[in-house]
Structure 1
Amino acid sequence: MAVALDPIMAIDLLPVMELPIVPLRTMVLFPHAALPMTLDRVGSSQAVAAAGEDGLLAVVTQAHPEADMPHGGDLYAVGTGAVVRQLTHGDETMAVLEGLERIAIVEVVQTRPYLRARVRRLASERQIIDPIYMAARANMLEAFAEMVQLSPVLPEELSLVARSIADDSALTDMISSALVEVAASTRQDILATLNVRRRMDKLLEVIARELQTLKLREKLRNEVQTKIADGQRELVLREQLKAIKKELGEDSSEDRQVIELRGKIERGELPDEARREATRELDRLGEMPPGAPEHSMIRGYVEWLAELPWNKTTAGEIDLFRAKQVLDEDHFDLVKVKDRILEFLAVQRLKKSPKGPLMCLVGPPGVGKTSIGRSVARATGREFVRISLGGVSDEAEIRGHRRTYIGSMPGQILRAIRRAGTSDPVFMLDEIDKLTHDIKGDPAAALLEVLDPEQNNAFRDHYLDLPFDLSRVMFIATANVLDTIPEPLRDRMEVIELAGYIEEDKIEIAKRYLVPKQVRENGLVLDADITFCDEALQELAHGHTHEAGVRRLEQVIASITRKRARQLAEGASGRLVVDRRAVSELLGPAKYRIESQVEERTQMPGVGVALAWTAHGGEVLYVECTKLGNGRGDLRLTGQLGDVMQESAHTAVSWVRAHAARYGIEEDVFKKYDLHIHLPAGSVPKDGPSAGVVMVTALVSLLTERPMRPHTAMTGEITLSGVLLPIGGIKEKVLAARRSGISRVIIPHDNEPMLVDEVPDHLRGDIEILYAQTLTQALDLA
């Protein structure tokens, strides 16, 4: 946009002239100033050629600098009449233009092949010289002198030249032409200002802004130079100190560090490639001043190379009898798990090879997955290290960060190996099912290289950028569920499932392990300060915990021992015998009495008991059905049911409706009433097909007004044809039924082999297990 002109007095207007126009993109030519320029546009070179050397032309700045072939609307209204002082032809045409005076474009008369316009000359307005005017002139000169002093591009004599100019209009034009770093629009505004006093005010404002920028640059430049000078001084002093110590026969601390690291590298059992890299980096470190930015990075890298256990091992000959003894000492029951671990160790002993499948222990929390890893390490004489993968979403947590990043370090794998001090520890990857991924990469994909026996003998961490042999490491993973483990990772693992414990097992574990451990950790002496009766342990396992594992049981035992420790600290004496009554006094009334809940809640028609499997083990679920009058046969489902469970509910309603006559149910019930199926604990999401048989049973119970048999639970997937399909998690579900006081369990007939294989004989003897192939058989048994 063109800048508005000051009012021009009629007496200043001179005759109109027609001149060629040279447009400028980002420069502004002022009167009394010279402008060397390259004529790289055809229109500009032809305009200068038309004017000829010592010829007149108009130089005008473009309001739209992006226009390559500007027309009249792309130019500002005010420019400068100029004369061509020098014209040079060569590879490029060069011209030197000298500004004469301001001009205003009256009319553009030609646009091709170059711009030509009628212009009129503009004269500056006459000024009244008064003290205020002189003060403004002095302020402008003083500010310009300061700017010249601070500017790295303006010559110092420029301020003297400015003071020698008597004509104020020429003075402001000279100063304006020196403001080469100011925006073209701002300089054009000054050019278009004909009132000299107003021109001074605008110049003073522009110079003030430039001074602020120059002072800030000067401050930053001084700070940088000070830092450089200090660093250079420190470097010189350190070199002098180094030379002095060398003359005295003393080594500096830096030299000692390099010598110490070199000794570690020479004594260590590094592979050839790692040794060459360490030596090369040590040579760089010895030549580098301690204050250099890379000094600490290189030293840290070499320390990692020196301290990693490249070929150090601790595992000796595997003693299976010793291993079995250790496993039996540390864990009660878990016969199948122990057998599989011993089979694994037997293969290792016969093959004399470290390669083998990765074991993955899957089970609910608190069943001893992590402690099994410690026992395997003790049984094999290896070190034990553990990392938790829960919530890990960055691939660099596994592979490490590249050394170019500040604060980089190896990934968790090599950090744990360094912590173990050997290259063949038992390495536990805890909570492998809780890995996540985001834009930083997929850590599960990075684990493939770590766990694959075919490629982990040359695992390359991003930080070391050297191959490290992980094939001697015995990896053991743990998980609560298998569903969330990526398929390629799951294929490389041999899954060993750990189900929950029955009440008798929990009591035995408490007697053998938990009670002695908590008594010892809380500063007590067993049988001298405190004794736990069997009935107390039974009450704790039955009434104060409800879990598949024993973690909560250990917590309540620890609570009792802490209370006893406080009593002794406050002056009590003697031995505390913890029986059922003492448990009630110390912990309050029992929190769980599930068997009474089952009996009470299943007395009314429309309620059934389902057995479910979760990451925390087996659970008991209730299915409640009711019918609503004045309905239209709609089905309402509540309790945060997943898609699969909702489909099971619709299948159950369809089957009951198709077989309504068999059970004496009137057909119009499904037209006059709405059915509502609810699974309590509405805040907990539920899904899976195994509650289908219970939904059918609860609906038939509701519509026939006959309650189910007491203490009966069931599980199984249903089809529209009435077939009962097998499901998983049988052992966990039977354990949950036993914990809840259920005496009868109905399961699909096809699950019988799995039940015989997974559920111990004594557990099957405590519960009446009934098999059904069809829904009709299940209803007859229920």
Structure 2
Amino acid sequence: MNINPSSKKNLPLLPLRGLLVYPTMVLHLDVGREKSVRALEKAMVGENLIVLASQTETNIDDPEPNDIFDMGTVARVKQMLKLPNGTIRVLVEGVSRAKVLEYTETDDHYEVEVFEIHETEETDPEVEALMRAVLQQFEQYVKVSKKTNHEMIAAVTDIEEPGRLADAIASHLTLKIKDKQSILEAVDVKARLETLMRILSDEREVLELERKIHQRVRKQMEKTQKEYYLREQMKAIQKELGEKEGRQAEVDELRDKIAKMTLPEAVVEKVEKEIDRLEKMPATSAEGTVVRTYIDWILSLPWSDKTTDEIDIDKAEKILNDEHAGLEKVKERILEYLAVQKLVKHMRGPILCLVGPPGVGKTSLAKSIANSLGRKFVRVSLGGVRDEAEIRGHRRTYIGAMPGRILQGMKTAGSINPVFLLDEIDKMSNDFRGDPSSAMLEVLDPEQNNSFSDHYIELPYDLSNVLFICTANVAQNIPRPLLDRMEMIYIPGYTELEKLAIVKKHLLPKQLKAHGLTKEKMSLSDETILQIIRDYTRESGVRNLERQIGALCRKAAKQIVSDEKKRVSITPKNLSKYLGAARFRFGLAETEDQVGVVTGLAWTEMGGDTLSIEVSVVPGKGKLQLTGQLGDVMKESAQAAFSYIRSRAEDLKIQADFYEKFDIHIHVPEGAIPKDGPSAGISMATALMSALTRIPVSREVAMTGEITLRGRVLPIGGVKEKCLAAHRAGVKKVLLPKDNGKDVDDIPESVRKELKIVLVDHLDQVLEQALVRQ
């Protein structure tokens, strides 16, 4: 835009707040600010012309030039009227657009040098099309807007000048000052029409949305009013019939329930508070359901209900012996607890942890304890729990919140002193949702669990009367702080005689009943049961044994039904006909004395097991090779054994340079199974010594123990499990470290009678016992 000096004018300026005047527009203004009044007076002295420009912000009382838009309108003052309050009412008419070039006066009033812009109203097809489109948009805007009337359409339709049309339509719109200013600043007619079209389109969309929202709100209000009316009618009908309405009846029922219960004072106070909240809530309120569920949970928990312990030591001992064979230490501990309970009347529940391989009866033993005490029994499985909220519960702010498994179990039990079984406590893990094992610390600490805090209930709950029993396969997987709060009782596994007793007393009657059989229809001799134990199972527990008994019952049932037999007798001779070929070779010990082969003993999560260790010596350059998927500890044991034999080569009558002439290969069969632990040191040393001296190892000997570089034999763990495995394998003699002598008493007497246990503290003694010297 080229500024023509002849178009420049010096005129007073009147800043407008929240208002904008277009050319040809006539409107009244109320002027009150001193500078604005003086600007008017100056205009009246001259040609009655004044520049009207809008402020960028309406809240500024004394605007600076920077606070006023540069584009304004030159207007003619047509009329002035002083009002009683000192304000001047002015009638102005817009003449033309004007660009403010500079401010020449700002102290007394605003005076500016402006460039007056005169438009040339030329039309072409594009402008004509834009005019029609703008008119169409304006008509649609008027239809949806409640602030404009249809006369406006008639007022603007007759305007033929495109610029004036845009200004006239913009003056009728309820727009923000910035939008109106953008139309004022659009000097080019096409640009002005396009800007106006965009603004009209946006405004129309907003108005359409407003209309839809209003309709939706009105419908909702009508629905609510209808529901309110119907509910009031229902109340009136119920009142006439003498019935109470739903929410009030619900509240009264809860209050009656509280009156009949014996609850702690803090619990009563909390529940009363929640009931008062519930009473004030509308029946349709979603929060009402949440509050009602919370109250139900509190009232369903046992706060004082208690079962009376039937403390009869002889009766309890009989129940434990009838339901479980062996497990003497566990039974003794339970009877001790009962005796103390009888003397002191109230004792904080101990936390017992039964540790042993699968299938030894840890869970069923907990049920027997509950039976012997006459208490309720509840079981919670912790296997795979990795969320802290599973133990402590969820906060009530969450959707679907509920108490943790501990209080859910207490609700199931219905008394404050149940036998509570926490199954598989070693299988808990943690992730981003928290560490459940840390939450269990409060549950299993006798000093803290008298005020256990659940996030959902938010009231202290007393767990001190509960007899907690935990089960685990491996104690090492239980976090140390948790382990510290528990009394460990190890259940290593059963002997053959104990398994025989378990089958005759429990498993066989149970399976016969489950398969519709009786002792008269199917007979199973002791020899047959022993053969099943030896040839078809290899385990510490009796789970697989029960499956084999079940398989026999199914075969017998089929024979009785199809062949119409009255009785099926299963003997050791025809056992393979029913169960197939023997799966395991009883007596895993070698059938003959062999060079470089030793039967070692190991402990696994499944209980004790035998470990065959083989050593082969071949001509070579002194390479030591270890195979069989051995862990770091076993590899180090092999290295220690090798170093010891090298250091004692002369005393042991071995070639002093054997490590330079021969390659030594140590192998532990069953390479697919990872093996590790400090139990195979003396076994490897003995096998290595046998291979180098060509002296056979006795097939009747098994051994376990760690070795030092000086040949000392160090103690190990799992003595009972390993001796049971040796007994199962048909071994006659077991070599144990001397420091493990204290553990020999744990071995069942029936096993000790058949095993010769030799305590050794040096490898020389091991070799003397194990090697068969000619």
Q: Do the structures match in fold with TM over 0.5?
A: yes
Give the equivalent residue in structure 2 for 1:760. Answer: 748
Kindly report which structure 2 residues correspond to 1:277-316, keeping only aligned pairs within 5 A, or say none. 277-316=270-309
Tell me if 1:553 matches 2:545: yes
Give the equivalent residue in structure 1 for 2:436. Answer: 443
Q: Which has the larger radius of gyration?
A: 2
Give the equivalent residue in structure 2 for 1:95. Answer: none
Q: How many percent identity over aligned positions?
A: 43
**Structure 2 Cα separation of the partners of residues 475 and 294 of structure 1:** 36
User: 8 Å contact 2:622–2:664 — kept in the other structure?
Assistant: no
Tell me if 1:534 matches 2:526: yes
Change beyond 3 A, Cα 1:225–1:504:
farther
Which one of the candidate residues 595, 599, 603 is aligned to 2:590?
599
Report the Cα offset of residue 324 of structure 1: 0.6
Change beyond 3 A, Cα 1:13–1:615:
farther
Which one of the candidate residues 633, 639, 644 is aligned to 2:633?
644
Tell me if 1:129 matches 2:124: yes
Report the Cα offset of residue 762 of structure 1: 2.1
Tell me if 1:420 matches 2:413: yes
User: 8 Å contact 2:517–2:557 — kept in the other structure?
Assistant: no
Q: CA RMSD in A?
A: 4.5
Give the equivalent residue in structure 2 for 1:142. Answer: 136
User: 8 Å contact 2:71–2:185 — kept in the other structure?
Assistant: no
User: 8 Å contact 2:732–2:754 — kept in the other structure?
Assistant: yes
Deviations 1:703-738 (A, max 9, x none): 445553324322112222221111111000111122
SS of 1:623's partner is strand
User: 8 Å contact 1:651–1:720 — kept in the other structure?
Assistant: yes
Query: Counterpart of 2:529 in structure 1: which amino acid?
Result: L
Report the Cα offset of residue 700 of structure 1: 3.0
Report the Cα offset of residue 385 of structure 1: 0.6
Query: Counterpart of 2:740 in structure 1: which amino acid?
Result: N
Report the Cα offset of residue 163 of structure 1: 6.8
SS of 2:590's partner is helix
SS of 1:488's partner is helix
Query: Counterpart of 2:322 in structure 1: which amino acid?
Result: E
Report the Cα offset of residue 346 of structure 1: 0.6
Change beyond 3 A, Cα 1:568–1:120:
farther
Deviations 1:666-721 (A, max 9, x none): 45554566655444444443332122222323333344455533243221122222
Query: Counterpart of 1:725 in structure 2: which amino acid?
Result: L
Which consecutive unaligned segments of at least 5 residues does structure 1 have?
Answer: 1-7, 20-26, 35-52, 62-77, 86-97, 108-117
User: 8 Å contact 2:592–2:699 — kept in the other structure?
Assistant: no
Change beyond 3 A, Cα 1:573–1:260:
farther
**Structure 1 Cα separation of the partners of residues 644 and 119 of structure 2:** 102
Which one of the candidate residues 452, 468, 471 is aligned to 2:464?
471
Query: Counterpart of 1:588 in structure 2: which amino acid?
Result: G
Tell me if 1:769 matches 2:757: yes
Kindly report which structure 2 residues correspond to 1:599-678, keeping only aligned pairs within 5 A, or say none. 599=590, 603=594, 605=596, 607-626=597-616, 633=623, 635-666=624-655, 668-671=657-660, 676-678=665-667
User: 8 Å contact 1:400–1:411 — kept in the other structure?
Assistant: yes
SS of 1:710's partner is coil
User: 8 Å contact 2:311–2:373 — kept in the other structure?
Assistant: yes
User: 8 Å contact 2:423–2:470 — kept in the other structure?
Assistant: yes
Which one of the candidate residues 328, 349, 368 is aligned to 1:375?
368
TM-score, normalization: structure 1? 0.79
Query: Counterpart of 2:570 in structure 1: which amino acid?
Result: V
Tell me if 1:454 matches 2:447: yes
Which one of the candidate residues 480, 488, 507 is aligned to 1:495?
488
Change beyond 3 A, Cα 1:526–1:60:
same
User: 8 Å contact 2:643–2:709 — kept in the other structure?
Assistant: yes
Query: Counterpart of 2:590 in structure 1: which amino acid?
Result: E
Q: More deviation in 651-660 or 387-396? A: 651-660
**Structure 1 Cα separation of the partners of residues 673 and 558 of structure 2:** 38
**Structure 1 Cα separation of the partners of residues 114 and 686 of structure 2:** 102
Report the Cα offset of residue 614 of structure 1: 2.0
Deviations 1:294-326 (A, max 9, x none): 111122122222222211111234111110111
Change beyond 3 A, Cα 1:119–1:305:
same
Deviations 1:92-140 (A, max 9, x none): xxxxxx99759799x9xxxxxxxxxx9999998976433x654443334
Which one of the candidate residues 649, 670, 674 is aligned to 1:685?
674
Q: More deviation in 667-676 or 251-260? A: 667-676
SS of 1:415's partner is helix
**Structure 2 Cα separation of the partners of residues 210 and 280 of structure 1:** 51
**Structure 2 Cα separation of the partners of residues 187 and 530 of structure 1:** 102
Change beyond 3 A, Cα 1:556–1:539:
same
Change beyond 3 A, Cα 1:686–1:80:
farther
Change beyond 3 A, Cα 1:171–1:585:
farther
**Structure 2 Cα separation of the partners of residues 82 and 705 of structure 1:** 119
Tell me if 1:779 matches 2:767: yes
Query: Counterpart of 1:250 in structure 2: which amino acid?
Result: E
**Structure 2 Cα separation of the partners of residues 384 and 160 of structure 1:** 84
Give the equivalent residue in structure 2 for 1:481. Answer: 474
SS of 1:580's partner is coil
Which consecutive unaligned segments of at least 5 residues does structure 2 have?
Answer: 12-17, 27-41, 44-49, 57-68, 78-93, 103-112
Deviations 1:655-675 (A, max 9, x none): 233333444544555456665
Query: Counterpart of 1:599 in structure 2: which amino acid?
Result: E
**Structure 1 Cα separation of the partners of residues 150 and 552 of structure 2:** 92
Change beyond 3 A, Cα 1:209–1:82:
closer
**Structure 2 Cα separation of the partners of residues 129 and 477 of structure 1:** 93
Query: Counterpart of 2:319 in structure 1: which amino acid?
Result: V
Q: More deviation in 734-743 or 408-417? A: 734-743
Change beyond 3 A, Cα 1:376–1:137:
same
**Structure 1 Cα separation of the partners of residues 600 and 135 of structure 2:** 95
Deviations 1:743-780 (A, max 9, x none): 3322111112211x101222022223222212232233
Tell me if 1:266 matches 2:254: no
Query: Counterpart of 1:268 in structure 2: which amino acid?
Result: M
Tell me if 1:585 matches 2:580: no
Deviations 1:398-420 (A, max 9, x none): 22122222211111111111111
Deviations 1:343-395 (A, max 9, x none): 11111111111314211111111111111111111111111111111121222
User: 8 Å contact 2:387–2:435 — kept in the other structure?
Assistant: yes
Query: Counterpart of 2:605 in structure 1: which amino acid?
Result: A
Q: More deviation in 452-461 or 489-498? A: 452-461
Change beyond 3 A, Cα 1:762–1:238:
same
Tell me if 1:723 matches 2:712: yes
SS of 1:713's partner is strand
Change beyond 3 A, Cα 1:531–1:225:
farther
Query: Counterpart of 2:754 in structure 1: which amino acid?
Result: D
Query: Counterpart of 2:582 in structure 1: which amino acid?
Result: A
Which one of the candidate residues 734, 737, 741 is aligned to 1:748?
737
**Structure 1 Cα separation of the partners of residues 253 and 183 of structure 2:** 70
Q: More deviation in 682-691 or 351-360? A: 682-691
